[in-house]
Structure 1
Amino acid sequence: MVRATVTFISGGARSGKSAYAENLLVSQQGRLVYIASGVAFDAEMQRRIAKHRQDRKDAQWLTIEQPTNLHLALPQLQEGDLILWDCMTTWLANEMYEGIEDGNPCWRRSGCLAQKQQQLMNTLLEISEIAAQLVIVSNEVLDEWPHYEEETEVYRRAIGVQHQQLVQFSHNAIEMDHGLPIVWKGEAPI
């Protein structure tokens, strides 16, 4: 089985990651699938989600809202899909706080986060065996401060580990900076 071309795109807030990722796929022939991890918890997130939806409206994207348990999106995917997953860091935060309503979030349970990250990599491999293209978007966050509270440090470390795994898994790794793609692995698809 031929594995999809996988492109990992990271960058800071408002760096142009999502627009670049969308442009990679809309120029190709195939069904466009947008797997969204965002949850509109507050007004800012509501605005960001609305903007992303507005940006995609003309391209006829199938949107799958999957803030956690990415593997649950698998039955909705078809052979040859052009898939954009936006974004890994939002998914990670959602998974870290799974169980918080009971006072026992995942990030506090031994091995929980590592298990979720391993399941993620297994799911991405399955997606790459279905899709023609898979584009994964993530944020570059939390790499400048000298000290963080415990849960923020867990999140920061998890992002670092996940980014390294995603870059290794991907054919192309691109960092967006001020709207410009910086290619760290492979080549710029556009």
Structure 2
Amino acid sequence: MRGGDGMLTFVSGGVRSGKSSFAERLLVDGARKTGGRLVYVASGRAVDEEMQERIERHKADRAGESWLTIEQPMSLHEVLPFIREGDFVLWDCLTTWLANEMYEEIGHTYCVHVENCMRDKTERLMETVAAITAKASQFVIVSNEVLDELPSVYEETKMYCGWIGMLHQQLVAFADTAIEMDTGMALYWKQDGQVVMR
């Protein structure tokens, strides 16, 4: 059940599919029409040179607009006090957040190995998504499409894929619009709350 008047858009796609640029344009266009504030919630951590380059590239892409950037690798609910009514919010991205949360240290192990830890985190996430959607004019969530790849032989990778698949299904069900990016083209699977027939 949707709690607010905001619009939730879910954008997925493979690496370099154009999903982040497309999501940014969606929000910039909306903010220009209403004068709303642009908010970028970043979950990426510069853990290696490649990730640092990706972060810098995304910053350069946003340089022409007045984005408020919030660095939030984990605990998405902590951004709620910073979101205002009528904001245009981009969260990039779900897949990075999930990896960060799975490998949060709990005692001498990781969350992914602790009973109910990931269940609690994903439930909190969905509550947070609903709360942001209720406040914002538009909330766009970006996620990587990792399930098109061949199944992994590694147990933790299988667990990751299971969680991301479940979250994708829940978010698409909750979203007004669901878009898959493929080589820079937007394929609409859901629009205005209705499944697009193909």
**TM class by shorter-chain length?**
over 0.9
Alignment-mate amino acid for residue 185 of structure 1: K
SS in 1 for 2:109: coil
Q: Does 1:3 align with 2:16?
A: no
**Structure 1 partner of 2:195:** none
Q: CA separation in 2, counterparts of 1:41 and 1:142?
A: 23
Task: Quote how far apart the aligned CAs of 1:104 are.
Answer: 0.8
Aligned pairs for 1:25-104 (under 5 A) are 25-28=27-30, 29-99=35-105, 102-104=107-109
SS in 2 for 1:94: helix
CA contact (8 A) 1:5 1:132 kept: yes
CA contact (8 A) 1:143 1:156 kept: no
CA contact (8 A) 2:147 2:165 kept: no
Pick from 100, 116, 126 the counterpart of residue 111 of structure 1: 116
1:132-167 deviation per Cα after TM superposition (whole angstroms, max 9, x unaligned):
000000000143324431110100000000000000
Q: CA separation in 1, counterparts of 2:184 and 2:119?
A: 32
SS in 1 for 2:84: coil
Q: CA separation in 1, counterparts of 2:146 and 2:19?
A: 13
Name which of structure 1's ranges 25-34 and 169-178 shifts more when overlaid on structure 2.
25-34
Gaps of 5+ in 1: none
**Structure 1 partner of 2:26:** 24
SS in 1 for 2:20: helix
Alignment-mate amino acid for residue 90 of structure 1: T
Alignment-mate amino acid for residue 78 of structure 2: L
Q: CA separation in 1, counterparts of 2:11 and 2:45?
A: 20
Q: CA separation in 1, counterparts of 2:184 and 2:148?
A: 20
Q: CA separation in 1, counterparts of 2:4 and 2:76?
A: 22
Runs (4 or more) in structure 1 with deviation over 4 Å come to: none
Task: Quote how far apart the aligned CAs of 1:179 are.
Answer: 0.2
Task: Quote how far apart the aligned CAs of 1:58 are.
Answer: 1.0
Q: CA separation in 1, counterparts of 2:83 and 2:126?
A: 17
CA contact (8 A) 2:39 2:70 kept: yes
Gaps of 5+ in 2: 193-198
- Corresponding residue pairs, total: 186
**Structure 1 partner of 2:149:** 144
Alignment-mate amino acid for residue 162 of structure 2: R
Q: How high is the TM-score relative to the length of structure 1? A: 0.94
**Structure 1 partner of 2:181:** 176
**Structure 2 partner of 1:128:** 133
Task: Quote how far apart the aligned CAs of 1:3 are.
Answer: 2.5
Percent identity, aligned pairs only? 55
Alignment-mate amino acid for residue 14 of structure 1: R
Q: How high is the TM-score relative to the length of structure 2? A: 0.91
